[in-house]
Every structure is written in C-alpha cells, then in structure tokens.
Structure 1
C-alpha cells in the first residue's frame, strides 16, 4: 500500500501543467530541427533555490530540457504559448549572473511560478530571450532584431533607400573617417557608445554620428545589426547551397560560377540589395589594406559570420563551416562587379495600399527583376475579361 501511494504521487508530479513528463523518452517531435539548443542553468522551483545544468531544446513553441545534449531523456517540458519572457536585472550582491525568466500563462486566478534561467554570457542570454520572444510572438520594436522586410518597408516613407538607413549611415561614416583606420571591423568599439546608438535607432531616431565618433564603434554597430537580424542576409534555406558553391569554385570550369550566380539570383530582392551593398563597400575598405591592415581575407573572416550562418549555431557546425564562409565572402568581395552588377540595382518601391494587402504574397526575387506580384483580384478580373471577349 505504501508503494502504491508513492507511485500515485510520482504520477501526479509528472503531469503538472508546463512541466511535461520528466523521464520520458524522446518523442517523434524531436526529429524536427530545433530553432535553438544549448546549455543553461535552471533554478529549482523549490524552497532550496539550487541551480541545475540542463540542455535546452526549442522546437516550435515547446521548450524541453535534458541532462545531456543527446536528448536521451526529457527532464521537463515548458509550453511557451501565451507565456512572457523577461530579462532579469543583475544583482549587485551577486554579479556575473546572466538571468532571464519565463512566466507561464495564468491558470484561472492562480499565478504560475516563473522559470528562472542562467546563461553563460550576456550575449547568450540576449539571444535566448530574442528567440523565445519571436516564438511566442512578441513584436520587436525598433531596428535591431527586426526583419529586413519590415525595416525597409517602414523606412521607405523617409525616401527611397537600397538598404536600411542604419547600414547606410554606418557605411557612409566609415568611408569618410575610417578607411585608413588600422583593424577596422576587427577591433571592437566602445560598448557604452554602441548601446547608446542602438537605443537611439530602436527608439525611432535616425541619429547622425558626430565627426569625432570612434570609427570602431560605428563598425561594431553595423556588425551588431547584421548579427541580430532574425534571419541572416543569406537566408537559412540557401545557406548550405551557398557553401556548396565553394567546392566547385576551385576548378577551372564555369560550373561553380554558374551555381553561385543562380543562388545570388534566388535571393529575395532586399537581401540581394544588402549583400551587394556590403560587398561593394568591403571592396573599398580592402583597397586601403596597406594602411588599415584589413585585406580581403581578413574582412571575409570577420564579416562573413554575420552574413552567412546556420540556423542552429552550435560551435562544431560553425567551426566546420568557417573556412567555407571565409572563402565564399572572399569571392563575393573580389568579384562583386561580376556577381552584383550595377545594372541589377533596384531601389524598393514606396509602400502603397496595394502592396500593404500583399504581405502574404510570394516574395519577389532578383531573378525576376521586372516582375511584380499582382493582386489576386486583378488576375481574376483579367482572366474573366479575356473569357468574355472570346464569348
């Protein structure tokens, strides 16, 4: 009888809402590619607030945690729908902890206890918070962490722009003040200044950089913007295809070039514009490499990882891909005139009522330069008109 009571207690604990079924094996859902995975420390939800190291895996709106990175046994499940994610301020009495929390949805009048996590670094914590908020559907304000489409569409009201205003301002400042700066894009800027400029852009301002602004700060701001795009400039769906091109570019044949040109043509128009703009700019930077010590290979190394990166950024995958990313960026910078001809520059059209109604329409590609996605109603009316004329 005593054993039965224990069993009943253990069963009741396993079905606590939000906690999932600890100890259960991997489900078929685990075959899905995770949106994010990595080690975090989780605070125990008990009187003794100890920390447990766990491997967390995010798939869809479900966060599971495990004792190892093989996901052999599920220790718990956190359903994220209708949850809130908050960064926790650092504690002056206990510095060096990068904390955030997930507050589950309320169950009637009963408040649910938050889950508290500790990341390994500030950047790791911020990345988890951004990813979780995207999954939950919290709208991102400002410029950083906002999709390229949303930013460029919004900024068209200030006039036509090939690329986001922040990118243009950073590039123009570096061209004027930083082409001869040793270690440009390699040396870090001033953290406080980077944060101030970031906050200004996110607040909807379009600040200009004073002439005495540290050029490394502006370069760091540009890299930060590219790094925090919800999806990289080279979309995840094309990431591996781009890298595969590097294996063919070694041979004296046109196959590798043709494949690369096809992949570039398949880029969404806004992504193409931004990649083209960055490659042309980096070519200008390397022209001063005798002074700034940043040749094509150096620039490709420090900038490539901000433009091409896998959806899951585990250290092993990134390390393996680094030589290919560097080679691809080197080629695109050196051969920018061939790969990104000026004749293909197309400034996005200002938003209109019609384009606003087409948010869910298929995206246009560089390969269809003059093509425009038509309103479905217009297509139907056109077809009906042709049929009536035949009758």
Structure 2
C-alpha cells in the first residue's frame, strides 16, 4: 500500500499536493447514533478527502475547506462543521488516537483553512507568520507585547509566570487561529502572557535557530567568566548574523523582558526568573543535550548556560539593541519604522555602546565599493549559516552514535555478568559436553558481514575530525564577518570601505 500511495502522489499535480495523510476514526455529525469507522484521510491545499481504505479505490467524502469551520470538542475529537452559507457539503467528526496526532492534524487544518485571513499561526515557522503589515514580527506577538508593555500590566504581580484562566486563553487562541483580532484589553495580563508563552513554545524552532545554539551558549559562558564589554560585542555580532525574522523577534522579546525586569519590585520578576521561563522557547537544543564543544566543558548543564545567556540579553538590552524606535513600535505608536540600514549617526546610540557599533554593518551610499562589499558580506553570512547548520546536524549525529555506543557497552557488560553468574551456578559438565563446546562452530553469515563493517568508534572519530574542521571554518568566517563589519561601520565616511581592494572583496 505504501508503494501504491507513493505512485499516486507522483501522478498528482502541484495544486493537489498532499499536506497530510493518515488514518482517523470518522463519522457524520448529523448521525450521532452511527459508529466510528476507521478511514484513510488526505488533506490537500483546498479540500479534505475521505477514502474507504488506503487503496483509495472508493472515496466517501470530499469537503472543500472554505465551506466548513473547525470545531474542537476535546483534545482528540474535532469537527469540520458546515457553514450556514455553504451548500452541497456535510459535517464530519474525527477522532485521533492520541493528543499528538490530533494536534498535528489541527495544525495543518487551521493553516490551510484560515491562512488567507492571517490565521493558523500556532505551530508555523516565523517565515509563514502573519505580520499584519505594521511590524516585522508576527502579529500575535506584537499585539501581546503591546498590551503587556503598558504600565498597568508591568506592575502585575507574577507577570509572565502565573497562568491565566484556561477557558479565556483557549478563546484567544481560537480567535488568532481563525485570523481574527481579539480585544486583548478585555483579557487579563496573565491570560495574554500565557497566550504568548504557548505561541513561543509551539514554534517549530526556537527564536535562536539551532545552528546558532552552540555559539550563543559559548558567548553566554564567556560573559559570565570573562570581560563583559568584549564578549557583549561578540554577542551583538552573533545577533546580527541571525535571520531577519528571528533577529526582530528576539529584539522585541528582549525589550519586553527588559521593561518587565525594571519593574521587578512590583511584579516580582527579575531577569533570571524571566530567562528561566522562556529559555526553552528562546534558546534550546532539540533534546537539550550537551553539544560536542570543548569550550562548553566548564558547565555540563546547557540549560543553565542558556538561562545565563538570556539573562545577559535582558540586562544589557540597551547595549545590544539600544535604538528607541523599536520601543515606540512596541507601544503601537504612529511613527514610521526605522530605515533598513541606518548610519551610526541616526541611531543615537548611548555613549557606553559606541565601542560595539562596529558590529552593525553600515555602508555609505557614496562609496564606490559599497555594493561589492555588501554583496560579499551577504555571501559570507549565507555561507556561515550553511556551515553552522551542517555542523549542528553533524553534532546531532555524533551524539546519537555516542549514545548508541554507550548502550551497546552497557548491554555487553550485562551479558558478561549474566554469563559469569550462570558459569558459577552451573553443574560440572561431562567430558563429551566439554568437547562439544570446544569444537569450532560455523559463524552465521550475518555475523561475518557485521564484522566486515566499520567499527562505530572509527566512524565517531571520523565525524569528530570533520566536526572540528567545520568549527574552525565557522570561526574563520565569523572573524571575517566581524572584520567586514568593523571596516564598514567605523566613522561612516566610507574611508575604510574605499581602502578595500577588489581582490580583497572577491576573496
């Protein structure tokens, strides 16, 4: 059946792309006395198809998504209810095996049904988020932060920590899933903060992407151990390398957290408490395991390193970001957003931030080499991200192999202990049994072929060497980015950019 399904998929056009398929229990909503029946479901971009079984020989129903609304009855039961203005369609109810399966179906259904209205935002990537045309961050985040940054909410005790009423939070979530704009002023600060926490926790990837996870942890550890001024400049350089949507969201959240911790005497929420709450959503690994990095060996707890890094982002927000225009956007002011590439003179940075202004890439329009340098800078940044993502994937493979090797070693030790116990308690064997045990036995073909395979330790050693090479390349690329930023960001008169020759730019 799997081969038949793949063949049928290849015959479909792009407009009939299958977003999700699988088995669900289904029955008609109007016939409440009918039994639940196991059906094979296919979800396409504009419709949902219900087949008798996986062979897809008989189609029972085909529902256009724009003619139904999604209604959740429980954690595993949901309904595609027919709209009042729709005709020639039916209402169907579905039951999943567990909560995880139901959440996967609902995520895709909400996205395909309400994406035209800006809905289906939960569980989608930042690239698919609806910004509302006002800011460069998801609309749900900007509206929640705008409400939470008011003086009344900032003074609420336990802000960002206490949970709101479950029914009210579910209603707000459903409104955003359907593309509506709920009135957050009618909700409490705890309900809005809970909605924000849920949205961030359901992102497919943390705000700081996986490829930058190790570098951010290393920077956070160096801030706590070394010179804060120098390491904050390096952390600012790492922030500039992030994708635009991740960088803007990190900036917005850091500003909110900075404003909350300034009112810690009223809301009892300091920077460490906030970082502990949001560390898994902002800076985390997929399974929170320690990456293979020699500089991180000083602290075996990566979660503690993540908390300290986020704490540094919150406490040093003005030094790392600093421009006041973004705080005005948070408060939903009518002032236009800042230009895409402002010069250091228009940023009005504080005095203590002038030393790190070189980490922001700024080019002068009158420079003859500005276009070439900007093109080279974007190429180096793209190459750095690709190398970092490859390094991260390789690290995950190494962690998996090492865990498997440790499990094999544990099993071998257990088998040896069991064999030794049996040998101690076994009765004395006869001479014929001893001779039979001493006779050589033919080795099975599977074991012979297994012996010819490369040793797992050899594979781990090769992957470790490759990972060290990638890390050295990443370090060289990062230094090159800092050199480009420092050469183009100091002074703002284009003198440094003009001194770069064509050969250096191409290199």
Give TM-score, length-normalised by structure 2.
0.43
What is the CA distance between 1:285 and its match in structure 2?
0.8
Q: 1:248 maps to what in 2?
A: 222
Q: d(CA) in 2 for partners of 1:203 and 1:128?
A: 17
| Match for residue 107 of structure 1 among 32, 52, 55 | 55
- Correspondence list, 1:81-230, <5 A: 83-85=20-22, 106-107=54-55, 109=57, 118-119=97-98, 122=99, 124=100, 141=115, 142=119, 143-152=121-130, 155-156=132-133, 160-176=134-150, 177-211=152-186, 213-230=187-204
Q: What are the ranges of 5 or more consecutive residues in structure 1 without an aligned counterpart? A: 1-15, 19-80, 90-99, 351-365, 374-391
What is the CA distance between 1:261 and its match in structure 2?
1.7
What is the CA distance between 1:195 and its match in structure 2?
1.4
Q: 2:310 maps to what in 1?
A: 329
- Correspondence list, 1:230-269, <5 A: 230-253=204-227, 256-269=231-244
What is the CA distance between 1:266 and its match in structure 2?
0.4
- Matched-pair contact (CA < 8 Å) for 2:20–2:105: no
- Matched-pair contact (CA < 8 Å) for 1:300–1:329: yes
Give TM-score, length-normalised by structure 1.
0.55
Q: What CA RMSD, in Å, does the superposition of the two structures yield over aligned residues? A: 4.2
Q: d(CA) in 1 for partners of 2:270 and 2:21?
A: 45
What is the CA distance between 1:259 and its match in structure 2?
2.9
What is the CA distance between 1:84 and its match in structure 2?
1.3
CA deviation map 1:228-247 (0-9, x unaligned): 22322111211221112122
CA deviation map 1:264-320 (0-9, x unaligned): 01011222111111111111111221221111110111122221222x2x3666994
Higher share in helix = 2
Q: What are the ranges of 5 or more consecutive residues in structure 2 without an aligned counterpart? A: 4-17, 27-37, 43-50, 60-94, 292-299, 327-335, 341-358, 364-370, 376-507
Q: d(CA) in 1 for partners of 2:210 and 2:140?
A: 23
Quick one: higher RCO (CA 8 Å, sep 6+), 1 or 2?
1
Q: d(CA) in 1 for partners of 2:339 and 2:39?
A: 41
Q: d(CA) in 2 for partners of 1:282 and 1:102?
A: 46
Q: d(CA) in 1 for partners of 2:113 and 2:214?
A: 29
- Matched-pair contact (CA < 8 Å) for 2:258–2:314: yes
What is the CA distance between 1:184 and its match in structure 2?
1.2
Structure with larger Rg: 2
- Matched-pair contact (CA < 8 Å) for 1:83–1:102: no
Runs of 4+, deviation exceeding 6 Å: 86-89, 137-140, 369-373
- Matched-pair contact (CA < 8 Å) for 1:283–1:333: yes
Q: d(CA) in 1 for partners of 2:170 and 2:216?
A: 33
Flag the 1:301–1:85 CA change in 2: closer, same or farther, 3 A.
farther
Q: d(CA) in 2 for partners of 1:271 and 1:17?
A: 38
